[in-house]
Amino acid sequence: MNKLFDLTQKEQQRQQNSLNLIASENYPSPKTLELLGSVWNDKYAEGYPGKRYYAGNELSDKLEELVAQKALEVFSASKEYGVNVQVLSGSPANMMVYLSVLEPNDTVLSLDLASGGHLSHLHDTSNLLKFYRHETYQLKTEGEKFEIDIDDYKAKITKFKPRLVVIGFSSFPKKYEFEGLCEIAHQNGCLVLADIAHIAGLVAAGLHASPFMEGEKGADFVTTTTHKTLRGPRSALLFAKTQYMDAINKTVFPGTSGGPHLNQIAAVGQALMEVLGEDSYPDNIAFKHYIQAVLDNMHALEEGMLHGGLELVARSENHLSLVKLPETIDSLDIQNKLEKMQIITNRNAIANDQRSAWRPSGLRLGSTALTSRGLTTNQAKELGGIIAGAILGRVSDKAAANYARALAASLQWWY
């Protein structure tokens, strides 16, 4: 047997037979996967529509223009915005912004990593720190509060005078308003990048504030991946106010990239059409109703975990939850223990974390993938209780594994 196909079959079985609670993963539709492996893979299309360097790109032009149009429609982006659909994934999309508008030694301000920021927002491990300076703003976490510290945000902007402010996260369970944050930054002469990789589906469904606003209220640049709450392929979209689009496009090609991956672009287009209701996911549920179910399932999952004795960093207002583990519990050990039960999670830092990044104090869970498989709120609440019991030793490993196996078998599988 071909070992590659053998591994692929085993991975499909692993996914089907496990409970995926990774907040950054989801299951695209079969049509999306079909386009990802289609003949679009065979074509080189260096350049942009109407200005390609190879022949045979008449249909490539139509494809790219169609997907760009759908991307703008999905987010109801005002006429102030354009979009580049050639970026390959989220971190490179952020890098394209830096390379387009920053000069060496310019300062970037972003949310502290342990507080929910992302590695691509110029944190300590980034090679881009060879060229740019980096400062962070913090959260306010006293008592029941868990929110961006606006006073600290304003003070850091005043003190460091960043050229670019990044608003975005990878492990922040609350909602926030882009408008006020953008206005503060713009009034101080800063550009704004909104990274909505995690919440793009919520924004598209109208269930979270949008950074696509006119004037000072809107972000200058918006990046997103397409495989999380948008339920598409592994890819990205890069939006910018129209005055910056020429610089963005030149940075993507020929500045940093060669031919676009047309198969990715086509697959992104399919996912966007499903968001718009021009095609449908196999469950035939309207996208906004799917996202509402994602939120409902997260609330139910947290109810189950709280009832089971776990502590949350803060009650979730989106698709992800952050559990603050007891000090006596090692997060890596718990992640591995749950994986053996076919419950897939990831350990994660929390605000003011004193532990190492390899063994942080928290556990992150998301509801997007299981909601795509038809998880109900009753099932989510029960699952939360099982997870709490497994972590705190109140449910045996065997009982938790048997529960996870039975639940996975009862859920939809679309491939």
228 given a catalytic annotation: yes
From 64, 112, 195, 220, the catalytic residue: 195
44 given a catalytic annotation: yes
259, 44 contact by CB (below 8 A): yes
Task: Please list, residue by residue across 99-124, b when 16 or more beta carbons sit within 10 angstroms of its beta carbon and e when fewer do.
Answer: bbbbeeebbbbbbbbbbbbbebbbbe
Cβ count near 247 (within 10 Å) = 16
From 46, 179, 353, 382, the catalytic residue: 46
From 225, 229, 368, 371, the catalytic residue: 225
333 given a catalytic annotation: no
234 given a catalytic annotation: yes
From 52, 228, 231, 241, the catalytic residue: 228
From 25, 43, 44, 154, the catalytic residue: 44
Burial of residue 410, with CB atoms counted within 10 A of its CB: 0-12 exposed, 13-18 middle, 19 or more buried: exposed
3-state secondary structure the chain: CCHHHHHHHHHHHHHHCCEECCCCCCCCCHHHHHHHCCHHHHCCCCEECCEECCCCCHHHHHHHHHHHHHHHHHCCCCCCEEEECCCCCHHHHHHHHHHHHCCCCCEEEEECHHHCCCHHHCCCCCHHHHCCEEEEECEECCCCCCEECHHHHHHHHHHHCCCEEEEECCCCCCCCCHHHHHHHHHHCCCEEEEECCCCHHHHHCCCCCCCCCCHHHCCCEEEEECCCCCCCCCCEEEEEEHHHHHHHHHHHHHHHCCCCCHHHHHHHHHHHHHHHCCCCCCCCCCHHHHHHHHHHHHHHHHHHHHHCCCEECCCCCCCEEEEECCCCCCHHHHHHHHHHCCEECEEECCCCCCCCCCCCCEEEEECHHHHHCCCCHHHHHHHHHHHHHHHHCCCCHHHHHHHHHHHHHHCCCCC
- State the catalytic residues: 44, 46, 195, 225, 228, 234
